[in-house]
Amino acid sequence: MSNRLYRMLFGSALLIALYFDLNEAIYALVALSLFEAITNLRIPRVVSMLRKDYVPDPAEGTLGIPFRTRTTFAAERGWRFSVSAMLLLSVLVYPEELWFIPWFMGFAILGAGISGVCPMFLAMKWVGLK
């Protein structure tokens, strides 16, 4: 399983949960994202390791741009932290004022899965995350 497929599934699940107003599903997606960010046990990596075809591609999702790494913290973990933080902020803290942010994130994550280009991931790489 690639990160691209994972983003497609995550974005689709988020949009379905938002459309049908399934708050428990949104909380589950936030919990999953936080768990993956904290432990670095990412579903795409675990599935690929179980299938015995795990070959990490350091250039995945970077559009071939040579980013300078300033820290050992993975950009994929930073992406998951930012997704879970924004979802928590917009769903739990300010649901009436920030109702559009989860929808925007769902479509953006789905688009990132379809196209293979995630602007937030590129921003994390540009900042210097590994």
pLDDT tens-digit series, residues 97-127? 889 999 999 999 999 999 989 999 999 999 9
How buried is 103 (Cβ within 10 angstroms: 0-12 exposed, 13-18 middle, 19+ buried)? Answer: middle
Q: What mean pLDDT comes out for the span 67-82? A: 92
Tell me which DSSP letter residue 88 carries: H
Q: What mean pLDDT comes out for the span 5-17? A: 96
Q: Where do the domains of the chain lie? A: 3-48+68-127
Give the predicted TM-score (pTM) of the model. Answer: 0.89
Residue 45 has a CB neighbour count (10 Å cut-off) of 17
**Residue recorded with tokens 């995350």:** 129
How far apart, in whole angstroms, are the C-alpha atoms of residue 56 and residue 101?
31
pLDDT tens digits for range 23-65: 999 999 999 999 999 998 999 888 888 888 767 677 777 888 8
How far apart, in whole angstroms, are the C-alpha atoms of residue 31 and residue 104?
19
